[in-house]
Structure 1
Amino acid sequence: MESVVEEGFAERIGQRVRRLRNERGLSLSELAHRAGVGKATLSGVEAGTRNATLETLYAIAAQLEVHLAAIVAEPGGPAEPVDIVAGDAVSGTLLETFEDPGWITELYRLRIRPGRVQFSPAHPTGVTEHLTVFSGTARVGPEGAPVTVPPGGHAVWAADVRHIYAAETEEEVQASLVIRYPRPDPPTGPAGPSDV
């Protein structure tokens, strides 16, 4: 299933991935290896000639140690919904990103298609995911211990391990997903005379 995204979306994602990769001093080959994606795939994403799947974007973001919105949304841009490229099982729309002193929080509208399972890579330590199901029944959470979430139900899990999203029945799941990332501590330098 293909997603309809605005013109230039792939190019903007590619520019952000390339900038973040360069800021971290990673070669294209190194990031591709760490993220478990082909070098040609990553090259196409950075060039804006390839629409990455949601799984690929998650894998890249995890290895760059950034939240997904850092790749898919305009930095400091308006809080407008951003359509995300569909994965095999999941399609999502980033509705808003909230930044608080200790946390970055992303809110998504999510659809999980039946008959498929999405495996998402581990996020950095401290990241949690919160799923509320509106229709359908979802199976989500850590790969080794997923939970079933009926309509109206809610699940929370530590997302610093590989985790899954699947529809438990033949009905498509409609849900909201909140991902909370702890903000990294700002670097601290040696105390100067005025700090004593």
Structure 2
Amino acid sequence: MASAGNPSKPPLHSIAATLRRGRQAAGLSLTELAHRAGIAKSTLSQLEAGQGNPSLETLWALCTALDLPFSRLLDPPRPRIQVIRADQGQAVTSAWADYRATLLSACPPGARRDLYRVDAEPGTPRTSAPHTPGTVEHVLLTAGRALVGPADDPVELNPGDYVTYPADQPHVFEAREPATRALLASEYS
């Protein structure tokens, strides 16, 4: 996968602690959570130990199984003013597509919205399984060209175009030009 700059790796210690707390709060064993998420128990065990290199798909599957917003895995303490420069921030990459999502803003307590910067390249589309019921995504394309939206009816976007769609059904992001970038907001009900 081509990468722009040198994005930092996901914060494994934070992911490990959040997964362990979420699993324990849900009263699930390692085996049961791994089964619900469709991953190997050994993979989950490694992640809870702060080891490995989790893909975006693995982390989403775990969040869906625990009914946790994805941002809880990556949300570090923030100063009152936060600037994340292009090609910086906590990025997680797809195992199947040239696609990287960088958490830009997690919801404050009481709100249910996460904001991501997406960097994608042409090739294999990033197809997402349904998120938790009621989830809606908002995408503003900032560079390039992409097909975005429900897997069975995506919309072609050009720079400056915006689309919103239910993300509790299969959906896709397919870059049609090199260096495609977008802002993606996930809204949870």
- Could you state the TM-score of these two structures normalised by the residue count of structure 1? 0.81
Q: Deviations over 1:88-117 (max 9, x none)?
A: 33212211123375x411111111121012
* Worse overlay, 92-101 or 150-159: 92-101
Could you tell me whether the CA contact under 8 Å between 1:45 and 1:52 is conserved in 2? yes
Specify the code of the residue in structure 1 equivalent to 2:23. R
Q: Confirm or deny that 1:179 pairs with 2:181.
A: no
Q: In structure 2, the residue corresponding to 1:30 is in which secondary structure? A: helix
Q: In structure 1, what is the Cα distance between the partners aligned to 2:31 and 2:20? A: 12
State the Cα distance separating 1:73 from its structure 2 match.
1.1
Provide the rounded CA distance (Å) in 2 between the counterparts of 1:31 and 1:146: 32
The aligned length equals 177
Partners of 1:170 and 1:180 in 2: CA distance: 27
CA distance in 1 between partners of 2:109 and 2:21 (Å)? 24
* Structure 2 residues without counterparts, runs of 5 or longer: none
Residue 83 of structure 1 is matched in structure 2 by 90
Q: Identify if the C-alpha distance between structure 1 residues 98 and 16 changes in structure 2 by more than 3 Å, giving closer, same or farther.
A: closer
Deviations 1:172-194 (A, max 9, x none): 31110011112xxxxxxxxxxxx
Counterpart of 1:149 in structure 2: which amino acid? L
Name the counterpart of 1:5.
8
Identical residues among aligned pairs (%) = 34
The structure with the largest alpha-carbon Rg is 1
Q: Could you say what secondary structure the match of 2:59 adopts?
A: helix
Residue 193 of structure 1 is matched in structure 2 by none
Tell me the alpha carbon deviations over residues 38-89 of structure 1, each in whole angstroms, 9 at most, x when there is no partner. 2222222111111211111111111111111111113xx2155541221133
Structure 1 portions without partners, runs of 5+:
183-196
CA distance in structure 2 between the aligned counterparts of 1:60 and 1:100, rounded to whole angstroms: 21
Q: Say whether the 8 Å CA contact 1:143–1:162 is kept in structure 2.
A: yes
2:116 equivalent to 1:113: no
Partner residue of 2:149? Answer: 141
Please, which of 71, 74, 80 is the counterpart of residue 72 of structure 1?
A: 74
Q: Which residue of 2 aligns with 1:55?
A: 57
Task: Tell me what 1:32 maps to.
Answer: 34
CA distance in 1, matches of 2:90, 2:104: 9
Contact 1:91 1:112 in 2 (8 A): yes
What does 1:36-47 align with in structure 2 at a 5 Å threshold?
36-47=38-49
CA deviation vs aligned residue, 1:146-168 (integer Å, no higher than 9, x gap):
2211221111110111222211x
Q: Distance in 2 between matches of 1:66 and 1:47?
A: 19
* Mapped partners of 2:153, 2:31: distance in 1: 33
Q: Structure 1 counterpart of 2:44, which letter?
A: L
TM-score normalised by L of structure 2: 0.84
SS, match of residue 160 in structure 2: coil
Could you give the per-residue CA deviations for residues 115-139 of structure 1, whole angstroms, max 9, x where no partner exists? 0122222112211100111111111
